[in-house]
């Protein structure tokens, strides 16, 4: 099973974009820090929640449910999916290619083989066994 480049997903999708997808509305902001109701389903429903997010550092923390991490962790927790599926879902939500997906893996492999065939300096060596 091919892997996903989670670092690339985190670089392509910002914390602000994830908060917008979740419909987060801050109750208070101080610079790059925002506070409000936790976006994780089943957590607090208070008007002033113990949820804090730093948009510059791309991390969040909820003091009620204990959920914390980066934007991909938030999407995983809020949508109740496994990390792999959450990363794929987030990329589809934002209409971006999933980094490290099957298609891109096959394209890279095909490009590598194509460059070997057309490269005059690529040499196949056949070694005969000693008798």
Inform me whether the pLDDT recorded for 90 exceeds 80. Answer: yes
Cβ(66)–Cβ(90) below 8 Å: no
Question: How far, in Å, CA of 69 to CA of 31, rounded?
Answer: 20
CATH level 3 topology of 6-118: DNA Primase; Chain A (3.90.580)
Domain borders along the chain are 6-118
Distances (CA, A) of 23 to 32, 75, 77, 99, 115: 18, 12, 15, 25, 47
Q: Give strand pairing partners of 34.
A: 29, 53
Average pLDDT over residues 48-64: 89
Question: Across all residues in the chain, what is the average pLDDT?
Answer: 81
pLDDT in tens, 93-120: 999 999 885 444 445 544 444 445 555 5
Full-model pTM: 0.71
Inform me whether the pLDDT recorded for 64 exceeds 70. Answer: yes
pLDDT in tens, 3-43: 889 999 999 999 999 999 999 999 999 999 999 988 887 77
| 41 phi and psi angles, rounded to 5 deg | -60, 135
Query: Which residues fall within 8 angstroms of residue 117, CB to CB, at 6 or more apart?
Result: none
Average pLDDT over residues 71-76: 95
């Amino acid at each position: 099973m091919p892997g996903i480049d989670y670092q690339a997903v985190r670089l392509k999708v910002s914390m602000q974009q994830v908060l917008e997808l979740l419909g987060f509305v801050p109750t208070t902001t101080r610079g790059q820090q925002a506070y409000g109701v936790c976006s994780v389903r089943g957590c607090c429903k208070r008007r002033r929640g113990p949820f804090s997010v730093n948009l510059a550092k791309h991390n969040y923390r909820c003091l009620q449910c204990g959920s914390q991490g980066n934007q991909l962790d938030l999407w995983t927790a809020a949508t109740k999916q496994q990390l792999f599926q959450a990363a794929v879902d987030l990329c589809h939500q934002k209409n971006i290619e999933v980094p490290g997906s099957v298609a891109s893996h096959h394209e890279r492999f095909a490009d590598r083989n194509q460059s070997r065939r057309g490269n005059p300096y690529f040499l196949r060596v056949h070694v005969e066994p000693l008798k």
